[in-house]
Amino acid sequence: MFRFGEGFGMGRGIAVLVAILAILPSTILAQAPAASTFYISDTETQFSLNIANDSSDVSIYFTSPAYSWVAVGFGENMKDSLMFVLYPSKDGKNVTISPRLATGHSEPGHENSIQLEALPGTGIIDDMFVVKAVCKNCRVWTDGFLDVKNAAHPMIFAFGPGNRLQSDSLDAPLRRHVRFGRFTMDMQAATGKSEVPGASQALAGVTFDGEMTRDHDRMNLAHAVLGCLALFVLWPLNVVCAGFLKKIGIHIGISVFILVFLIISYALGIATSGEFNRSKTFTSPHQILAFLSLLPIVLISILPFPRISSLHTLLPRLHTPLVSATLTLLILTGGLGLHLSSQSTPIIMAYTAIALGVFVFVVLLQTCIKRRGSAYARQNGTSARRLRGEEDDEEDLVMKAWKVGRGMDGTHGQSQSQQSFGSGQQGQQGHGRGNSGGNNLYGGGTMPGPQYMLNMHPGVPVHRW
């Protein structure tokens, strides 16, 4: 049976419960810090920002996969943007937080004026970067500032390549990003009591279309590919053509292609150098050795010209040593370039193996050509001895030219000599019989007769008895 008192008590309980439920959301919201949150579900990347309304502090909560480096920056483009770049520490157990500024569309450099204090809970947890930090002076920086009144402040983010970067240095070299994007963040919604935001998987005060742009470092890739094609494909092919083909034009043509590939590779390398802090000043071992390699390349290119090669007999003999020196310098330059670009160990080992194989192959070919002479030289009657710089005697050259003009080869000349020598023997026998038979010729005895002299020196009169 329903009783009034009981019904009244139950009504009061329901009313109290409704009141509590009504107050609870406002209480929770009052306790939650003011923050704007950016979140990417594909990578579970979160960047939350809190701007203190009673100080200049800026609190951040930043998480992302710890496979390489990841960055978030204040600005519409890289130029003049303040960025927070995260990458693993040297031991791989902690996270390095590097505040950086970009002066253009290039690798940002560490900014010493930005003071970032990491709080407890920062580190690598379950293969994820976790950063809880407070920045003391992040609102103003060189050529830029954080507009705390902007409800749609432009922001950028980027992800590095898959290879692992581990360093304690705040200015560690970064490889070019593979993905990047833009979003806007409401700074007014992020302003409130100073407190580090918590983990969240929901966008708050952020506009993001969900698109990430895939980036390609095509210029640097073309620089490496063209250089490798010139060294490991065209170079040994050119040596084979020079040693075993009789067409000197093919050798010259391939040499021109090698020179063109190297020129383009140098130009691309110079253009790429401006994108990275480690190469902007052109003082790295890779760049220094590359510039030193230009000297033998230029000498190889100009020495074959007749006006230059005829200046001294030693100049043509410099070709082979210069070719070997240039190949060695360029191979070493390529290896240092892989180190400069922070390539992975398997790529460096593969390059080393290919470089050693090509170098040994080219050296063996050049040794073989030096001993036997090139096909073009043998076709034109030039021996390996002359290729080494030992010129034939002038009289020998004259006799060779004279024999060619008379149509005499070694076999024919030997036959004529034997016949003439036989005539001399007949004359000797006639002379021994008392100089009878008026057809006897001078030249009896063991020397060839005048008929042989006639063959050798046309026009010389032959005297008879």
What pLDDT was estimated at residue 103?
85
Equal fold, 34-214 vs 218-387: no
CA distance 35 to 21: 24
Q: What does the DSSP assignment read for 299-330? A: HHHHTTSHHHHTT-TTSGGGHHHHHHHHHHHH
What pLDDT was estimated at residue 450?
53
What pLDDT was estimated at residue 361?
93
Q: Is 45 helix (H, G, I), strand (E, B) or coil?
A: strand
What pLDDT was estimated at residue 368?
83
CA distance 248 to 376: 7
Of 21-30, 191-200, 273-282, 319-328, minimum mean pLDDT range: 21-30
Distance between terminal CA atoms of the chain?
176
**Cα 275–chain centre separation:** 14
187-221: pLDDT as tens digits? 999 999 999 999 999 999 999 988 899 998 899 99
pLDDT above 70 as % of the chain: 73
CA distance 396 to 399: 5
What pLDDT was estimated at residue 187?
96
CA distance 232 to 216: 25
Residue-range domain boundaries for the chain: 34-214, 218-387
Query: Quick one: pLDDT band at residue 436, thresholds 50, 70, 90?
Result: very low
Of 40-44, 299-303, 435-439, minimum mean pLDDT range: 435-439
Asked if residue 186 lies in contact with residue 38, where contact means CB atoms within 8 angstroms, the answer is no
CA atoms within 13 A on the CB side of 189: 18
What pLDDT was estimated at residue 210?
83
What pLDDT was estimated at residue 370?
76
355-369: pLDDT as tens digits? 999 999 998 988 887
pTM flag (> 0.75): no
CATH 1.20.120 assigned to domain 218-387? The reply is yes
59-88: pLDDT as tens digits? 999 999 988 899 999 999 999 999 999 999
DSSP code at position 176: P
CA distance 110 to 199: 27
Question: What number of helices (H) and strands (E) belong to the chain?
Answer: 14, 17
Return the number of other C-beta atoms located less than 10 Å from residue 155's C-beta: 23
User: Which sign, positive or negative, has the C-alpha torsion 208, 209, 210, 214?
Assistant: negative
Question: In this structure, what token pair is assigned to residue 305?
Answer: 């010209």
Residue type, 234: L
Helices 248-273 and 218-229, packing angle to 10 deg: 150
CATH class of 34-214: mainly beta
Helices 248-273 and 285-292, packing angle to 10 deg: 150
